Amino acid sequence: MAIGGKKKSGLRIIIVGLGKVGATLAEQLSLEDHDVTVIDRNAPKVQAVADRFDVMGMVGNGASYSMLVDAGIDKTDLLIAVTESDELNLLCCTLAKQVAGCSAIARVRTPDYSREADYLSERLGLAMILNPDQLSAHEIARILYLPSALEINAFAHHQAESVRFRVPEGNLLDGMEISRLGREIEHNILVCGVERGDDVTIPNGGFRIQKGDIVSIVGSRTESMRFLRNIGLETQQVANTLIIGGGRSAYYLASRLLTHKVAVTIVERSRARCEELSDLLPDAVIINGDGTDAELLKEVGIERAESFVPLTGIDEENVLLTLHARKVSKAKLVTKINRMAFRDVIDGLDLGSVVYPRYLTSEAIIAYVRALGNAAQSSRVISMFHMFSNRAEALEMRVEEPSEVTNVPLKELHIKPEVLIGCINRGGRIIIPGGDDSLQVGDTVVIVTRHKGFDNLRDMLER
C-alpha cells in the first residue's frame, strides 16, 4: 500500500525503518527537496510521516524484493536502512546493491558487527555503516576530554574543531568586543557564533560578548585549547566518570575512556548485564544496582565524581539524574536525549552538554547525500554538523576544481549574510582566513551558515 508523496527534483531515496532516525531523515531529506519513499511495517507510523513530511509511504517489509521493486528501487539513487534489526538493515542494503546497484547505508548497533564495519562495507559494497551508540560515545568522550566545552565537532581529520562553551561571570570575555580579542588575548581562532537566550548571531568585530553567552569558536585543536586556557577555562580531561546504565552506549563510552586512562564506574540494574560488562571491561568498576537511587549514587561517589553521564535509555530518567547530579556535585555533566518532541523544554534546562544520537546519525547521512547529489560539481560536502539547536549548519567542503570562489581574495567575494568561512585546511595546515586569503583547489573549507541545504561552495555567494 502506497501513501502520499509527490515528485521532487533531488535524489531518489528509499528509507527503510521509521524509528527516531528514520523519521528525522525523512523530514530533513524532504526539506532538501529529495524524492523520498519510506517503508515500514507499521501503517499508522507510515501514514503520519507521509502526511507530515510530504514523502511517499509504503507499508510492508523493506527487505522484500517485490516491495523494493514497487518502491522504485531500479531508479533509486540511495537506500538507507535504519530498522531496529541490524541483520534486516544489512539484508536490505545487499538487495539494493544486487538489484539496482544504488548506494546503500546501513545502521548497525551490535558491537560484533560494528567491529567488522570496514570489512562489511567493503565486502557488501556499502557506502556507509553507522552505529548511533558508537557515534554518541565518541561525542561524549570528546567532551569529557575537554570538560569546559558544551559541544565539540571535529573537521579536517580531527585537525580542526568547533568548540562551544559558556562564558562564566567575571571571565576575560565578559564585556569584550570581538575586534579586541586579537589585541588582548593571544589566539588563532575565529568566533563563529554566539547564542544569547533564544537569539543566535554570526558576529562581526563590533559584537560585544557577555557573561552567560554560549560562544562557538573554530580553529586547530591546539589553538582552541590554547585560547580556552588563555581565558581561564579548564582544558584538562576528567580523571574519572560515573555512568548510569550499562547498555551499548555505556560499553562504547567506557571502552574509549579507559584507553585514555579515565577511571570508569558503571551502575547497571541487570545482574546478568553486569557480569557481561565485567568480562568486557575488566578495568572498569561495575556496580549492580538502581542508578536512580539517591542513596546508592552517594555511596558510589557522585559527590566526588569529576564527570557524570546518565545513559539509562529513558530520557526522563537521564534528565532527572543530571538535575540531581547538578545539586549534589560539581561534576561535568553530559545528558543523552533520544527524543526531540520537547527540545524547547530541554534547551531551557541546565543539563550540561546534551547529545542527540539521532542528529549525529542523520548528519553523517545528509553529508553523504549532499556529496552524492553534487558529485560532478566543483566542490563537495565531506561532513556536516547542526549548530545552535539546529538553527545553523557547519559544513566541511573540499574544493575539487577551479570555480568563481577559487583564487579570489575572500574580501572580493560577494558572500551572503550569515555565512562565515571558519577555517581552511591546506595540506594539513589550518588557516584562520583573513580578507586577503583565497580558496585553492585541494583545500577543505569549513563554513558556518544559517542558510540550509548548501551542497557547493558557490551556494555561499549572492546571486
Quote the pLDDT of residue 110.
85
Count of domains for the chain: 4
Query: pLDDT tens, 208-229?
Result: 999 999 999 999 989 999 999 9
* Averaged pLDDT score across all residues of the chain: 90
Instruction: Among 327, 355, 383, give the residue marking a domain's end.
Output: 355
CA 292 to chain centre: 28
Q: Which of 164, 155, 145 is nearest to 256 (CA)?
A: 145
CA distances (Å), origin 183, targets 65, 179, 186, 202: 65, 8, 7, 21
Angle formed at CA 371 by CA 369 and CA 376, multiple of 5 degrees? 130
For residues 439 and 445, the answer to whether their CB atoms sit within 8 Å is yes
Task: Indicate whether 88 and 114 sit together in one domain.
Answer: yes
Beta pairing, strands 429-431 & 419-426:
antiparallel
Distance between CA 433 and CA 288 in Å, rounded? 52
Query: pLDDT tens, 230-271?
Result: 999 989 999 999 999 999 999 999 999 999 999 999 999 999
In a domain, 346, yes or no: yes
- List b or e across 230-257, with b for residues whose CB sees 16 or more CB atoms inside 10 angstroms: ebebeeebbebbbbbbbbbbbbbbbbbb
Confidence of residue 205 (pLDDT cuts 50, 70, 90): confident
Confidence of residue 462 (pLDDT cuts 50, 70, 90): confident
Task: Indicate whether 213 and 244 sit together in one domain.
Answer: no
Task: Indicate whether 37 and 104 sit together in one domain.
Answer: yes
Confidence of residue 283 (pLDDT cuts 50, 70, 90): very high
Task: Indicate whether 22 and 42 sit together in one domain.
Answer: yes
Task: Indicate whether 307 and 384 sit together in one domain.
Answer: no
Quote the pLDDT of residue 4.
58
In a domain, 215, yes or no: yes
In a domain, 435, yes or no: yes
Task: Indicate whether 193 and 302 sit together in one domain.
Answer: no
Task: Indicate whether 252 and 308 sit together in one domain.
Answer: yes
Task: Indicate whether 434 and 381 sit together in one domain.
Answer: yes
Query: pLDDT tens, 160-175?
Result: 999 999 999 999 999 9
Q: In 10 A of CB 298, how many CB atoms?
A: 13
Quote the pLDDT of residue 412.
94
The CATH number for 386's domain is 3.30.70.1450
Task: Indicate whether 108 and 19 sit together in one domain.
Answer: yes
* Mean pLDDT along residues 97-121: 86
Instruction: Among 72, 97, 130, give the residue marking a domain's end.
Output: 130
Query: pLDDT tens, 427-456?
Result: 989 999 999 999 999 999 999 998 888 888
The CATH number for 73's domain is 3.40.50.720
Indicate if the pLDDT at residue 136 is higher than 90. yes
Radius of gyration of the chain (CA): 23
Task: Indicate whether 257 and 330 sit together in one domain.
Answer: yes
Quote the pLDDT of residue 424.
94
| More confident site: 264 or 368 | 264
Confidence of residue 9 (pLDDT cuts 50, 70, 90): low
Task: Indicate whether 13 and 63 sit together in one domain.
Answer: yes
Cell of 295: 542513596
Domain containing 170: what range? 137-230
Say if pTM beats, i.e. exceeds, 0.95: no
Quote the pLDDT of residue 374.
67
Task: Indicate whether 257 and 324 sit together in one domain.
Answer: yes
Instruction: Among 355, 388, 414, give the residue marking a domain's end.
Output: 355
In a domain, 2, yes or no: no
Indicate if the pLDDT at residue 397 is higher than 70. yes
Q: Which of 198, 181, 199 is nearest to 190 (CA)?
A: 181
In a domain, 106, yes or no: yes
Distance between CA 275 and CA 354 in Å, rounded? 29
In a domain, 235, yes or no: no
* Mean pLDDT along residues 331-355: 82
In a domain, 263, yes or no: yes
In a domain, 72, yes or no: yes
Angle formed at CA 166 by CA 162 and CA 169, multiple of 5 degrees? 145
